[in-house]
Structure 1
C-alpha cells in the first residue's frame, strides 16, 4: 500500500468512529510515521511542539486501534497495515459503494458520509472551511505576482505565524489578501477574514472566531480562556486568519501605534500568536505599523512585514479599464499618483468627467489636481495625526528637495525630542518617502501628499 492509500483508509476509519476527517496534523503524523520519522521531526516540520504531536498521535492510535480491532502504535502502524492485505482490496470495493467489514467495523465510502449529516463547518480534505464574513467583493485584480509569491513563500515554506501587510489607504491591501486566499486555500482547513473597521474589542473578535470553530459550543467570557481555546484550534487545524483595518484599534491624535483605551490586550493576542507553537498564520492589514509587530520582528524570524507600494507598469490596466485616452501619457499619470490603484481610479473619474478622458489635457496644468473624493480619502488618515506631525508635514511640503534630520532640527521651532518622535511616527504611518544618500537618510513627501497638504493646510499652527 502506498501512503495515499493508507491515508485514505485511515480517514475512513476515523470518520466512521468520530464523524470527522483527519486534520492537517493527524495526516502529518501518519505521513511521518510511514517515513520512519520521530515525533520531534514531525513536530519540527509542522511547527508544533513535540508534546502536542505526541498527544495527538496517542489519540489517533487509539481511534485506529478501536476501528481495526488491534493494538496500533507508532511502532507497529506500518507493519499491521502491510500485513492486512485485505484492507487494500476492500478500499476498491468501498469506492463503488459496497459495505465491507473490517473486524467489527462497517465501512462504506458513500453511505458513511450520507447517513450522518455533516455539520456546516465540516470540510473534506480538498475543501477548506472558508468564512469571509464582511469581505468586499473583488471585481478586478491587477498584477501583484511578486507580492503574492513572497506571501506564499513566507506562509507555506517558512511557516510564518504573523504577517503584517502595510500600506497607505487605497494601495490594495485588502484586494491582495483576498487574492492570496484563492491562491493558497487548499493548504488550509480554515480560512477566515474579518474587518476591524468598527473597532471591535478583543473579546468580541475572539468570540467571533471561536464560534466559527465550534458554533454549537458556548463561548467562555474569560479572555484568557478564549485565547487558550483559539490557540488550541490553531494547533489542531491549519488556519489562515486575516484581520483587516487593524489601524482602527489605534488612537487618533496620538503617535502611531498606540492602542485606544480598552484595546491594549490586542498586544497580548499578537504576542501569543508569534510566541506560542501552532501551525497557523495570522495576517494583519494596516495603514500604520503595529508597534509590537515591529518589536517582535526583531526577535523572531517567523514574523514578516510586507510594505505594499504602487502598481507601476501594471497600473496601465486600470487606465485601460477606465477607457482613458492618450496612452503615451499614461506613465506620467501613474508616476504622479504613485501607482496607487484607488488614487488612479478616482482621478480617472475626474479626467472622464471634465476632460473627456484625455490624459494629455489633464496633465497640462502646472498644479497636481486632486479630486475632492481623493482628498476626502486622505482626510481619514490625516485626521489621526498629532499637531506636531501635521506641523512636520507642512514643512516637508515646502521643501523642493529631500532633507535630512539635521536640516530640520536647525530649521524648525520644535523641541528635538518632539521632532524625532513625530518623524518616527510619520514613518510608521507610511507617510514619508525615505532614501539613503552617502549614508545619510533623506526625507520627503510624494507629490500627492505634498499637494494635499498645500490644499488642506494654509497655516502652521500648533495647539
Structure 2
C-alpha cells in the first residue's frame, strides 16, 4: 500500500519559492509569504490585512493578483487563491521540485582558480601563446593586469604546462616577503635562493657559494643559481615571480634585482646553462620606477596583458553556474561590473547559491548592503592611507567618478588607481573601470 506523504504549509512555501526563483530569478517577498500563508489557513484578504497591518485594497488589488499570475506562469496552469494548494502539491508530485536532489555548491570566488576548475575562462590566444613561449630556451613571460584579473591563475597554468614537459617549477609570491628582508639586497637575494632551493628540494648551500669578501650580492646570487641550482637539477627551471609590484617601493633592491633578472634572460641567449632558465613574472600595471632600459626585464621577453571577459565569456560562466540567463540579464550585470572576472564570478556565486536575486544584487551593488561592500571598502581604505604614494589620490579619483568625460591625471596617480583596478586608461586620461566604482566612490567621496 502506498502512503501519501502529507503536504504541509512549509512544503508549500518551499515549492512556491523555488518555482518562482526558477522562472523569475527572484524569491518570494515577505508580503507574498504572509498572503500565501493566510490563504493556506483559509483567511480572507480582510483578515490577512488586519493581522499584518496592510491595506486590504493593496493585498486584494495588487499583491494577490500578481502572486497568482506568477504562479500560473511558473506552473503552466491557472492558479488562484482558492486552488493554489492543489497546484503546488501537483508541482511537487510532478517533480518540479525534488528534495532528494542535492543542492549544487559552487566554489566561493577567491584567490587563484584551481587547475581542475571548470570556472577558469581562457582568453583567446593568451594561454596558447604562454604555453608555446615557456618551453623555449631562456624564455621570459611578463603578465600584466590589475588586481583580481587572473594573473595568478594564468601563472599556475603556465607552470603546470611546463611540468608536463618535465621542467622543474618554482612559484614565489613576493607580496608575502617581510619588509625587513626587502630593505637589504643581500638578505633579499639570500631569501630568494633559499626559497628556490626548498621548492626544488635541494640542500641549502648558501654558505658554500656566498663569497661576501670578493663578490657582490648579485654575483653571489647568480653563481648560486648557475653553479649549484641549475647544475644540480639537471634540467630546465621555470621561476614564477608573482606580485612583483610589492618590491617597487624598495629602492634599496629594485635596480640591482631587476637588473640581475634581465642579465639572466640575456645569458639565456648565449649560455647553454642559462638556456635552461625560464622566467615568468606578474605585475599589476605599468612599471613606474625608473630603470635603465637595458637593465630592465619589463621591456624584454613576451608581454601578456589580461583584459576583462567579453559577453560570450560571461554568458558561459552563467551557464557553468546553472543560471539560465538571457542576453538582457548578462548585459544588465555587465552594465554594473563590466567583465571584471572577480566581480562577475562573485555575482554569479551569490545568485546561483540562491542568496539573492540578480535584480536585488544590481540594485544593492554600490551600497553598504551589497555583496561588494567589503571589496569596495578595501579600495576606500587604500585611498585613505596617508603614505606618500597615495597623497591626493582620493581627490584624483573624485574627479574621475564625477566627470562625464575622461579625466587627465599625473602619471603616478594613474599608476596607483590603475594598479588597484578601479580605473581604465584612455591614452593619458582615465575613466572608472565600471559603473559599480563610479557610483560607489561618487557617493563616499
TM superposition score category, shorter chain reference: 0.5 to 0.7
Aligned to 2:127: 148
Q: 2:243 pairs with 245, 250, 255, which one?
A: 245
Structure 1 residues 341, 381: closer, same or farther in 2, change over 3 A? farther
Aligned to 1:253: none
Q: SS of 1:183's equivalent?
A: helix
Contact 2:134–2:158 (Cα < 8 Å) also in 1: no
Contact 2:286–2:415 (Cα < 8 Å) also in 1: no
Deviation at 1:301, TM superposition (A): 6.8
Aligned to 2:302: 304
Contact 2:240–2:281 (Cα < 8 Å) also in 1: yes
Moved more, 368-377 or 275-284: 368-377
Structure 1 residues 331, 248: closer, same or farther in 2, change over 3 A? same
1:225 partnered with 2:220:
yes
Q: SS of 1:164's equivalent?
A: strand
Runs of 5+ consecutive residues of structure 2 not aligned to the other structure: 1-110, 182-187, 269-273
What is the CA–CA distance in structure 2 between the aligned matches of 1:400 and 1:294, rounded to whole Å?
A: 38
Moved more, 390-399 or 284-293: 284-293
Contact 1:188–1:240 (Cα < 8 Å) also in 2: no
Aligned to 1:19: none
1:449 partnered with 2:437:
yes
Aligned to 2:18: none
Deviation at 1:296, TM superposition (A): 5.1
Deviation at 1:188, TM superposition (A): 4.7
Aligned to 1:285: 282
Deviation at 1:398, TM superposition (A): 0.9
Aligned to 1:166: 144
Normalising by structure 1, what TM-score? 0.54
1:275 partnered with 2:274:
no
Structure 1 residues 299, 243: closer, same or farther in 2, change over 3 A? closer
Deviation at 1:259, TM superposition (A): 2.2
Q: SS of 2:223's equivalent?
A: helix
What is the CA–CA distance in structure 2 between the aligned matches of 1:289 and 1:435, rounded to whole Å?
A: 14
What is the CA–CA distance in structure 1 between the aligned matches of 2:349 and 2:437, rounded to whole Å?
A: 19
Structure 1 residues 374, 431: closer, same or farther in 2, change over 3 A? closer
Moved more, 215-224 or 297-306: 297-306
Moved more, 444-453 or 229-238: 229-238
Runs of 5+ consecutive residues of structure 1 not aligned to the other structure: 1-133, 250-256, 409-418, 459-463
CA-based RMSD of the aligned residues comes to 3.8
What is the CA–CA distance in structure 1 between the aligned matches of 2:382 and 2:265, rounded to whole Å?
A: 28
Structure 1 residues 379, 392: closer, same or farther in 2, change over 3 A? closer
Aligned to 2:46: none
Q: SS of 2:175's equivalent?
A: coil
1:433 partnered with 2:424:
yes
Aligned to 1:359: 358
1:331 partnered with 2:309:
no
Deviation at 1:212, TM superposition (A): 4.4
1:208 partnered with 2:214:
no
Bigger radius of gyration? 2
Deviation at 1:165, TM superposition (A): 1.2
Contact 1:325–1:358 (Cα < 8 Å) also in 2: no
What is the CA–CA distance in structure 2 between the aligned matches of 1:163 and 1:294, rounded to whole Å?
A: 19
